[in-house]
Structure 1
Amino acid sequence: MDPSGAKQFVLTWNNSVQYDTTGTWDGIIFSGIPEISEKHIYNVSVEGNSSGLYFTYTLVPNFNALARFVVTKFGQGQQFSFESTGWNMFWSVPRDACAVYGPCGPYGTCDSRNLALCSCEEGFKPSDNHAWVSQDWASSGCVRQSPLNCSTDRFIDLGVTLPDDGASSYPETTKKDCKETCLCNCSCTAFAFNPPSGPCQIWSGDLLNMRNSTPSKINSNVFIRVGASQLSMKRKTTSIVGVVLGIVGALTVALGICSFLLWQKHQQRSMDRRADSSDSFLRMSSYKELKIATRNFRSELGSGGSGSVFKGSLPDGSKRLLIYDYMPNGSLNSMLFTSNAKSKGKVLDWKTRFEIALGTARGLLYLHEECRGYIIHSDVKPENILLDGDLSPKLANFGLAKLMGRDLSRVLTTTRGTRGYLAPEWVSGLPITPKVDVYSFCMTLLEIISG
């Protein structure tokens, strides 16, 4: 609870460092977690006075569900509700996993844009390599590859940012003076000149909460102390690389013309493919990313005629992925509505349109009646129907899908599909059935016919 008396709750490390907050209570929601008051699920109330503050949340009447709150291995708090036959996470604090205090441990750098949340900067290595590679315990942090020597140490700019907390401000007016002040203090591990909160800041002890930053977001350079041997090794490596680059330079020029011509041809083909597709929701995943996410494909869920299925997770735990075969013809939307489709002779004939409609219907029939648990796709539309090389359709984008037990005839959910494809009962906030997919399919069918 916020000790200042404000109607909000704060997350702190060691009862001293605040790293996140729920935002203030306005009588309906916490400003930082609007999902906590999601209608149809919880009734929330906050009460208190100068001596105390508390809030309660209860399930709305007639909503038979369970709830649980967990803390992930990276320190995020996540709230789940059990709807039908599966747990559904609908809010987390903090939203950015890197906002947790010290998620990557001493000298570890956090970057929530990467699948592997934590990394070690140049001159450092994981203190527990096995735990680091598996991302099971990234908070073990990194250690220096070369020991420090107070009289010979140097500084390197790693392009990271550090929080203001834990730093001491000094009145030095030049970068050189700031550097000398840090160098003369054997406990100083990093310095920054001209940050927003002061002209010279100096950090002592192990560095926590380092974050990768794009050049446009670095407010000041942070220089980290390293051993002279590490810097000499870097310079030697740079020198060797320079010689090698000089030797291969001539070959690079000779091969450059041929490479450029091949690249230009490849780019043109790629541009043609992208022009035929409007699948902005798709994200390409590299083999390395999938290997990290599945922990080297350690947990196999099952296998069939199409291959094996492995369990994996992203660092923030808040998203589920389905990895598909590459669908070279993009989405049905690109075939129906993209102007390039007509100019490139890719207008669908009536037989193909019929087969696409029939194949999509078969997919919905499987989801609604044939799989082990009933599945409502919730977002049937041309953008979510992918076409393979033979123009056979596959339903994709199950981000809004709901899993129903076979003993249930309807389910209450706060998720929504796409405007224009929504069934009336969904707009009215009533419990939904597989009929909402039938409605969306019929709207899609009209578009398949009309183009």
Structure 2
Amino acid sequence: MHFLPIAFTLLFFLRTPASSVAKDTILAGQALAVNDKLVSKNGRYALGFFNTSSSKPSQDTTNWYLGIWFNTVPKFTSAWVANRDKPIKNTTSPELTISHDGNLVILNRSTKSIIWSTQANNTRNSTIAMLLSSGNLILTDSCNSSEVLWQSFDHPTDTLFPGAKLGWNKLTGLTCRLVSWKNLNDPATGVYYDGLDPSGLNQLVLTPLNSSIPYWSTGVWNGKYFASLPEMTASNPVFTATFVNNDQEKYMTLQVVNSSMVTRNVIDVSGQTKAFIWLDSSQDWTMIYAQPKAQCDVFAICGPFTICTDDAVPHCNCMEGFTITSPKDWDLEDRASGCSRKTPLDCISNKSMSRTTDKFYSVPCVKLPQNTPKVQAAASASECAQVCLNSCSCTAYSFIDGGCSILHNELLNIRFLQCSSTTNFSGETLYLRLSAKDFQRLENNRKRIVIGLAIGTGSSALGLFAVILLALIWRKKRKISERMLDGVQGCNGIIAFRYTYLKRATNKFKDRLGGGSFGSVFKGFIGDSTPIAVKRLDGAYQGEKEFRAEVSSIGAIQHINLVKLVGFCCEGSKRLLVYEHMSNRSLDVHLFPNNSTTLSWTTRYQIALGVARGLAYLHESCRDCIIHCDLKPENILLDDSLIPKVADFGMAKLLGREFSRVLTTMRGTAGYLAPEWISGVAISAKVDVYSYGLMLLEIISGKRNSCAPCSSGGNLDVYFPVHAAHKLLEGDVGCLTDHKLQGDVNLVEVELACKVACWCIQDNELDRPTMAQVVLILEGIVDIRMPSIPRLLEAMTGSPYSCS
């Protein structure tokens, strides 16, 4: 499938789940009731009745389903549903059994009526049903178990099992494809499917069920991999693919390289195809792949009359003059119904009128759907508007570069853009058709804003009123900001502070917490009680519009291991960022000599893992790959529980998805720079991996990587990273740990951390792992071979036992 790019250059392993002694077969005359289940011989999968409201089988719910789920995973996760569009009501007492005609059926025990059946044509009286270790439920002959009469692999729902086929049988016409759930709690047929391209091209496509136009594809299979997924050629991938096209069938199938790994490949409710790995350490599924990465690339993801924004939470919002059609469905991520008009159009409500009263409301900076029809007859914006008004089905128009675009009926796939004079994406302005009532309401709102600003220039009485009004507004904003700092995100996003307020909040910037290449950081308080960290930027020359756009992008990034942006200030030449305050300051304060505390090995290891998770999120889970460019202990902050938070990531240049590298004039901190950066060539996210490796060695040793005394067969100082690599090869990692720990360390973890660090600082960036791979290694589910000595690093320092 499309999960093949998850190719790691390292060998995976996972603990093998314990086998279950439960039965895996239903014989003639036997029945499977609620609370019973079949379990495959390897214990991996279970078959039984479940309901989605409680996420596990019980008897007090409305809708029941027969399905297969991951038996070794404590978090109930469905993989196949038999009766997805025909739920069983709790008024029945369902059971699964072999019917008199040899089919596997769900019976209503009270009425003996059939609710669901395998409907195999060539059944016989000697059939049995068996749940295989592959997760395939088969109907077979007890006298000839090699003859499969029916199998669940031929009728997949939203999940692709390893070994199952996506494609079609050219002789029987049977088509196998994945179809998403309707919503998070309803396995009924959803609106997106994943399968072979029906046009005949040898590729996989994601397509809406009600359309034949794909919104994402793998590219054509070239005999070894799909053209758009060259990563499939990497050694030791998580999944390997086979593509078959002969006279009888055409299909693609996946196999997991390590069969003990618990994986899940699914087409999600979001319209994205995703791959997950179950991690015992976090007791949850960890997503390792998703396509398309940008949520707004999914066709009609927000439904009609909505605007989709990639760098915002939530992604979907109703257009002005519209309201959510079904809030309950939206909460379950089913937005197919989109938004509905608050007031009907005049053209529709009163066709007898010769002239409509409808108006157009401008929606700037959007991207229109592809293939929006153009009207050549309209030579101006006013003519374009009139063309729209003349048609009752017209709901909006756009006029740009002399071209008139008319949009009819439901508006789908309208996308908001981060417009800027410095980008190539200026966007279009959509003129949305509204009723006169809704248009007037929106215009009045605009006027209130203008009047509020004008009050300040009026009489003293009005000026006093303005002061009172502004005070009330500011008080409300302060309460919102306090709530956000407590962890509750306000619906209006990050806060725009005035410079005078931040100056007062920081006591005129007197309490300096630290500083770096981007500016100084000062401690302050909101409401005299909630601490904040205010970064005063140096050399920020962006215009206000561009600065606000970048701040908006940074504010949309949320992760437990990333410092949270609370607000900003942009007045004249002043540029400030407001962050949550970290009580335990930065990692270097605790790590290096003269610190007041000593971090235990367990804490250090968790800090290393947390930082890796934060960087992996920046590199792979954001809409744009974000390269930090200045990773070091000073930019790792610790909260009350010593949970690490990566800081200053918003200062780096954003890397667009259409690029794999970026050439930047930014310079990080000496001692943490990758060799390709020092040489002045274009850099990628692997420069962060290199810096992480060097910082990890500092976490292990408790001292800077610069020359420091260490016995190595002589009395010479050594460059620690090179020395660590040699000691790792010699099998002596104990001497590398911080002496303040007095040997109280986990040597297995120390060796693993040293291996990771040495892989991260390899000379060639292609030899370095990604941060997502680093996370899996440190979590203990990935094994890696011994790294080689970084020869370039060794050469730069003269020898493994001397300093440059």
The interval holding the TM-score normalised by the smaller chain is 0.5 to 0.7
**Secondary structure of 1:269 counterpart:** coil
Q: Deviations over 1:186-225 (max 9, x none)?
A: 1111111236xx8221111111111112233244321111
Q: How much has 1:36 moved relative to structure 2? A: 5.7
* Cα gap change, 1:274 to 1:6, in 2 (>3 Å): farther
* Cα gap change, 1:384 to 1:237, in 2 (>3 Å): closer
Which runs of at least 4 in structure 1 moved beyond 6 Å after TM superposition?
Answer: 49-52, 252-256, 375-378, 422-425, 440-443
Give TM-score scaled by structure 1 length: 0.63
Aligned counterpart, 2:264? 68
Give TM-score scaled by structure 2 length: 0.38
Q: Deviations over 1:101-132 (max 9, x none)?
A: 11111101111211211111221111123444
1:199 matched to 2:420? The reply is no
**Secondary structure of 1:74 counterpart:** coil
* Cα gap change, 1:437 to 1:393, in 2 (>3 Å): farther
Between the aligned residues of both structures, percent identity stands at 27
**Secondary structure of 2:412 counterpart:** coil
* Cα gap change, 1:185 to 1:440, in 2 (>3 Å): same
Q: 2:586 & 2:253 partners in 1: Cα distance?
A: 46
Name the amino acid aligned to 1:173.
A
1:129 matched to 2:337? The reply is no
Of structures 1 and 2, the larger Rg is shown by: 2
1:120 paired residue among 318, 342, 345 = 318
CA RMSD in angstroms comes to: 4.6
Q: 2:452 & 2:595 partners in 1: Cα distance?
A: 60
- For structure 2, the residue ranges without an aligned partner over 5 or more in a row are 1-195, 348-355, 458-462, 472-497, 520-556, 564-579, 614-631, 647-688, 698-723, 730-746, 759-804
1:163 matched to 2:360? The reply is no
**Secondary structure of 2:509 counterpart:** helix
Q: How much has 1:33 moved relative to structure 2? A: 4.3
1:146 matched to 2:354? The reply is no
1:363 paired residue among 603, 606, 621 = 603
Aligned counterpart, 2:205? 10
2:385 paired residue among 166, 176, 179 = 179
Name the amino acid aligned to 2:386.
E
Q: How much has 1:78 moved relative to structure 2? A: 0.8
Q: How is 1:260-299 mapped onto 2 (pairs within 5 angstroms)?
A: 261-264=500-503, 266=505, 269=509, 272-273=512-513, 275=515
* Cα gap change, 1:59 to 1:135, in 2 (>3 Å): closer
Contact 2:589–2:595, Cα closer than 8 Å, also in 1: no
Q: How much has 1:170 moved relative to structure 2? A: 3.5
Q: How is 1:45-444 mapped onto 2 (pairs within 5 angstroms)?
A: 45-48=242-245, 53-60=250-257, 62-82=258-278, 86-132=284-330, 134=331, 136-150=333-347, 151-159=356-364, 160-165=366-371, 167-194=373-400, 199-216=403-420, 217-249=425-457, 250=463, 261-264=500-503, 266=505, 269=509, 272-273=512-513, 275=515, 321=560, 326-328=581-583, 330-333=585-588, 350-352=594-596, 355=597, 358-364=598-604, 379=612, 382=633, 386-387=637-638, 394-395=643-644, 418-420=692-694, 421=696, 434-436=749-751, 438-439=753-754
Q: 2:439 & 2:295 partners in 1: Cα distance?
A: 32
Moved more, 183-192 or 87-96: 87-96
**Secondary structure of 1:11 counterpart:** strand
Q: 2:590 & 2:222 partners in 1: Cα distance?
A: 48
Q: 2:725 & 2:752 partners in 1: Cα distance?
A: 12
Q: 2:239 & 2:505 partners in 1: Cα distance?
A: 53
Name the amino acid aligned to 2:515.
A
* Cα gap change, 1:274 to 1:382, in 2 (>3 Å): closer
Name the amino acid aligned to 1:363.
T
Contact 2:244–2:251, Cα closer than 8 Å, also in 1: yes
* Cα gap change, 1:137 to 1:382, in 2 (>3 Å): same
Q: 2:361 & 2:246 partners in 1: Cα distance?
A: 51
Q: 1:278 & 1:332 partners in 2: Cα distance?
A: 18
Name the amino acid aligned to 1:207.
L
Contact 2:307–2:413, Cα closer than 8 Å, also in 1: yes
The alignment covers a number of residue pairs equal to 354
* Cα gap change, 1:157 to 1:442, in 2 (>3 Å): closer
Moved more, 87-96 or 243-252: 243-252
Name the amino acid aligned to 2:308.
C
Q: 2:315 & 2:397 partners in 1: Cα distance?
A: 25
Aligned counterpart, 1:300? none
Name the amino acid aligned to 2:749.
P
Name the amino acid aligned to 1:149.
D
Q: How much has 1:146 moved relative to structure 2? A: 1.8
Name the amino acid aligned to 2:260.
N
Q: How much has 1:183 moved relative to structure 2? A: 0.9
Name the amino acid aligned to 1:80.
F
Q: 1:123 & 1:52 partners in 2: Cα distance?
A: 51
Contact 1:191–1:203, Cα closer than 8 Å, also in 2: yes
Moved more, 12-21 or 85-94: 85-94
**Secondary structure of 2:346 counterpart:** coil
Q: 1:349 & 1:419 partners in 2: Cα distance?
A: 20
Higher strand proportion (structure 1 or 2): 2
Q: 2:510 & 2:317 partners in 1: Cα distance?
A: 32
Q: Deviations over 1:6-55 (max 9, x none)?
A: 44222222242221112344555435445666634222233447997533
Q: 2:263 & 2:383 partners in 1: Cα distance?
A: 56
Contact 1:276–1:330, Cα closer than 8 Å, also in 2: no
- For structure 1, the residue ranges without an aligned partner over 5 or more in a row are 280-317, 337-347, 369-374, 398-415, 444-451
* Cα gap change, 1:385 to 1:235, in 2 (>3 Å): closer
Contact 1:47–1:55, Cα closer than 8 Å, also in 2: yes
Which structure is richer in relative contact order (CA contacts within 8 A, separation 6 or more)? 1
**Secondary structure of 1:235 counterpart:** helix
Q: 2:415 & 2:400 partners in 1: Cα distance?
A: 18
Q: 2:455 & 2:359 partners in 1: Cα distance?
A: 31
Q: How much has 1:135 moved relative to structure 2? A: 5.8
Name the amino acid aligned to 1:117.
H
**Secondary structure of 1:16 counterpart:** coil
Name the amino acid aligned to 1:223.
Y
Q: 1:35 & 1:71 partners in 2: Cα distance?
A: 20
1:23 matched to 2:267? The reply is no
**Secondary structure of 2:382 counterpart:** helix
Aligned counterpart, 2:35? none
Q: 1:49 & 1:140 partners in 2: Cα distance?
A: 42
Name the amino acid aligned to 2:418.
T
Aligned counterpart, 1:289? none
Aligned counterpart, 1:286? none
**Secondary structure of 2:389 counterpart:** helix
**Secondary structure of 1:119 counterpart:** strand
Contact 1:276–1:335, Cα closer than 8 Å, also in 2: no
* Cα gap change, 1:395 to 1:231, in 2 (>3 Å): closer
Q: How is 1:36-47 mapped onto 2 (pairs within 5 angstroms)?
A: 39-47=236-244
**Secondary structure of 2:206 counterpart:** strand
Q: 1:396 & 1:219 partners in 2: Cα distance?
A: 35
* Cα gap change, 1:277 to 1:136, in 2 (>3 Å): farther
Higher helix proportion (structure 1 or 2): 1
Q: 1:144 & 1:253 partners in 2: Cα distance?
A: 37
